[in-house]
């Protein structure tokens, strides 16, 4: 990273927000304003670092969404929850810092968690990251509420102290209910063998402020991992969808190339005593370069909705040079039909579409915020250059072979490259000898690619180098349709 305004040491990362000078903040904002890679319809921070989506919920007639946020540079520092609200899941109004690390129960970070509308309040569950004088981490699971004027109550309360069974990797409480029982599932690492597991708690009070340890929910399909970050348990079309980020999992259990994967399994039932029955195999939730910490909710309108962080831990991004990092995905709807998970941008996304245009082999919109749909017949090969310059020497290249059933995304020729130590291509195995449909949602530095209406998803950040990288050049594709997407 060549971010030049400031060298962050540990002390600086944990400095109180009020101690940053107005001068520094002005310089940081001026730097961020120069970025050539600002997106048009994806959530990203003005300055500083965005990571996990948090507290996704519907409360008081609006959708609420928060993200993990460090405002003062493109580094992981003292984390807050940044708060946004929306009436349509597309246009988001920024309310600013919703939950800050300013208390003895969260002194070193308000880490990830979830929210649930509870009468007149939105109740947040989150991990308070606390460190003692020896820098030993003490993970506390906390609750606090937000009222109908979006004001945070001053009453932060620890509901779950550190667990004896777990190391200090114990975080990211996700709230869910089944048959009137309220549960929290928390990601963790067992003390006994330093392997990853999930911990289940049950509410013991109506007001959701008293919780009791229930059991460990082991995931044998991922038992080589050392930590499960950001778990979710959701009920989707009569199945149970379990998603999490199994850090350190062996390639035998899950093939992946990103520094850490985001994975899922489908089970038949979550039993009243906290077991998964009929759990299937572990699969990548997203096959792209940059998706992590996806948060899913069983929304009150009956849909299962989710948002991913379009970024990964411990990776430097080109926008770091402009003092910011990270974006959130579009809001996606999750379905399970015939035991097959699909994820697709919510129907509300259609409102972004401008006038439809069609083309045969080449299109230049002069910008990169569009939806592009096409099909490839069975037993064909297709090559699609996206974000291509005029002579096609720079582009992100999607190669599809429907005879053998392979789809490869290559971002090595974009001009601006990053994270190349983790490979420059990502691949999906399709069913051989079948046609595919592809829908691509592109933004200035985002590609969200949905295959066969979301049976496979590849979400990635990509960064152009030249201003003429606004061409699409396709061969082997049919029914090329394109819509500019604007807010
Ligand atoms: C995942 C994560 C979470 C943690 C948060 C801190 O990206 O490490 O486990 O709560 O980020 O920002």
Task: Concatenate the DSSP letters of all residues of 299-352 into one string.
Answer: -TTS-EEEEEESS-TT---GGGGGTEE--BPPPEEEEEETTEEEEEE-GGGGGG
Confidence of residue 6 (pLDDT cuts 50, 70, 90): confident
* All structural domains of the chain with their residue ranges: 10-347, 353-484
Mutation test residue for ligand 1: of 291, 293, 308, the one with most atoms within 8 Å of CB: 293
428-442: average pLDDT? 98
What is the per-residue pLDDT across 281-309, written as a single tens digit (0 to 9) for each?
999 999 999 999 999 999 999 999 999 99
Overall average pLDDT of the 17-22 stretch: 97
In this structure, which residue's CA is closest to atom 9 in ligand 1?
229
Q: Is 247 in the pocket of ligand 1 (CB under 6 A)?
A: no
Class of CATH domain 353-484: mainly beta
Percent of the chain predicted with pLDDT > 90: 98
pLDDT in tens, 231-250: 999 999 999 999 999 999 99
Answer whether 229 contacts ligand 1 (Cβ < 6 A).
Answer: yes
Bridge partner residues of 170 (DSSP): 188
**pTM value > 0.85:** yes
- Nearest-CA residue for ligand 1 atom 12 is 111
What integer pLDDT is reported at residue 179 of this predicted model?
86
pLDDT at 409 over 80: yes
Predicted confidence at residue 454, as pLDDT, reads 98
* Topology alike, domains 10-347 and 353-484: no
Q: Is the dihedral of CA 21, 22, 23, 29 positive or negative?
A: positive
Confidence grade of residue 444 (pLDDT, cut at 50, 70, 90): very high
Report the CATH architecture of 10-347.
5 Propeller (2.115)
Q: Is the CB of 127 under 6 A from ligand 1?
A: yes
* Token pair of 383 as six digits: 């090559």
Active-site amino acid positions: 52
Read off the pLDDT band of 26 (50, 70, 90).
very high
By CB neighbour count within 10 A (0-12 exposed, 13-18 middle, 19+ buried), where does 25 fall?
Answer: middle
pLDDT of residue 23: 96
Q: Pick the residue whose CA is nearest to atom 8 on ligand 1.
A: 229
Whether 1 has a pLDDT exceeding 60, the answer reads: no
In the predicted model, what is the mean pLDDT of the chain?
A: 97
Mean pLDDT for the stretch of residues 167-186: 97
* Interatomic CA distance for residues 66 and 45, integer angstroms: 12
Per-residue pLDDT, 207: 96
């Amino acid at each position: 990273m060549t971010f030049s305004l400031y060298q962050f040491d540990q002390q600086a990362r944990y400095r109180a927000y009020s101690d940053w000078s107005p001068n520094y903040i002005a310089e940081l904002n001026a730097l961020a304003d120069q970025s050539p890679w600002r997106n048009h319809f994806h959530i990203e921070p003005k300055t500083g670092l965005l990571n996990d989506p948090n507290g996704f919920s519907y409360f008081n007639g609006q959708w609420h969404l928060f993200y993990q946020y460090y405002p003062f540079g493109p580094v992981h520092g003292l984390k807050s929850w940044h708060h946004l609200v929306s009436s349509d899941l597309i246009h988001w109004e920024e309310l600013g810092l919703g939950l800050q690390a300013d208390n003895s129960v969260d002194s070193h970070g308000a880490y990830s968690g979830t929210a649930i509308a509870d009468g007149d309040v939105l109740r947040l569950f989150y991990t308070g990251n606390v460190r003692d004088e020896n820098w030993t981490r003490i993970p506390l699971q906390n609750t606090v509420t937000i009222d109908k004027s979006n004001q945070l109550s001053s009453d932060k309360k620890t509901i779950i102290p550190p667990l004896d069974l777990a190391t200090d990797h114990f975080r990211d409480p996700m709230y869910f209910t089944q048959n009137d029982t309220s549960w929290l599932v928390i990601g963790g690492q067992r003390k006994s063998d330093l392997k990853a597991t999930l911990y289940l708690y049950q509410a013991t009070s109506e007001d959701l402020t008293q919780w009791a340890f229930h059991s460990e929910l082991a995931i044998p399909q991922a038992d080589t991992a050392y930590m499960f970050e950001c778990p979710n348990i959701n009920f989707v079309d009569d199945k149970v969808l379990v998603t999490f980020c199994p850090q350190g999992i062996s390639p035998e259990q899950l093939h992946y190339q990103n520094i850490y994967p985001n994975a899922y399994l489908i089970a038949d039932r979550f039993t009243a005593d906290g077991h998964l029955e009929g759990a299937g195999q572990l699969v990548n939730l997203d096959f792209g370069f940059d998706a992590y910490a996806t948060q899913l909710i069983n929304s009150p309108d009956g849909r299962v909705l989710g948002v991913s962080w379009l970024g990964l831990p411990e990776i430097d991004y080109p926008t770091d040079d402009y003092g910011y990092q990270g974006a959130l995905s579009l809001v996606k709807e999750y379905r399970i039909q015939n035991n097959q998970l699909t994820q697709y941008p919510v129907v509300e996304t259609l409102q972004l579409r401008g006038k439809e245009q069609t083309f045969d082999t080449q299109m230049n919109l002069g910008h990169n915020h569009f939806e592009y749909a096409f099909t490839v017949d069975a037993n064909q090969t297709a090559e699609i250059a996206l974000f291509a310059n005029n002579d096609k020497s720079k582009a992100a290249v999607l190669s599809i072979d429907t005879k053998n059933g392979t789809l490869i995304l290559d971002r090595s020729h974009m001009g601006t490259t990053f994270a190349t130590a983790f490979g420059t291509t990502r691949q999906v195995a399709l069913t051989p000898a079948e046609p595919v449909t592809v829908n691509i949602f592109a933004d200035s530095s985002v590609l969200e690619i949905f295959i066969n209406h979301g049976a496979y998803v590849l979400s990635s950040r990509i960064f152009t180098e030249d201003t003429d990288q606004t061409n699409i050049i396709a061969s082997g594709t049919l029914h090329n349709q394109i819509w500019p997407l604007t807010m």
